Amino acid sequence: MGNGPVTINEQLAIPDTELVERFVRASGAGGQNVNKVSTAVELRFDVAGSPSLPEPLRARLLARRDRRMTGEGVLVIDAQRFRTQDRNREDARERLAAFIQASLSVPKARVATKPTYGAKMRRLDEKKGRAQIKRGRTTRNWE
């Protein structure tokens, strides 16, 4: 159905059998051609059920809050930037690869830190100063 597997990096590639491509008519301006030819591509990739993805990567992909991801864990990419079906298909596959590459790196664990004693004192002194300024403001009702 496609142009071979989608290569993410040297160790990871997604075979064509895991991708579902559907060709639909593109929306928007385009003259007479837009009503006759199905050039837009809807690419579906089942992230939750893919045997090609390592488990940690699958978990990171599913944890991403992305509007293209359905509740069942299927990634849906719509490509209609170009006038030809082949170019839109390439674009959808490139965007799939970029989406997966973005989750390849493991995020660095956040180390909780505490403010220093000096930082606490400076903050409290600043609060006291602001309170003094505000205390000096009075509302005067002139008769």
Measure the N-to-C terminal CA separation of the chain; round to a whole number of Å.
86
Residues 6+ apart with CB under 8 A from 66: 75, 99
- The answer to whether the pTM exceeds 0.75 is no
85-102 and 55-63 helices cross at what angle (nearest 10)?
A: 100
Distance CA 46, CA 43 (A): 10
Angle at 22 between CA 19 and CA 26, to 5 degrees: 135
Query: Over its length of 143 residues, how does the chain's per-residue pLDDT go in tens digits?
Result: 457 777 777 778 788 788 888 887 777 666 666 666 777 888 888 888 888 888 888 888 888 888 888 888 888 888 888 878 888 888 888 888 888 888 888 888 889 999 999 999 999 999 999 998 888 887 666 65
> What does DSSP assign to residue 143?
-
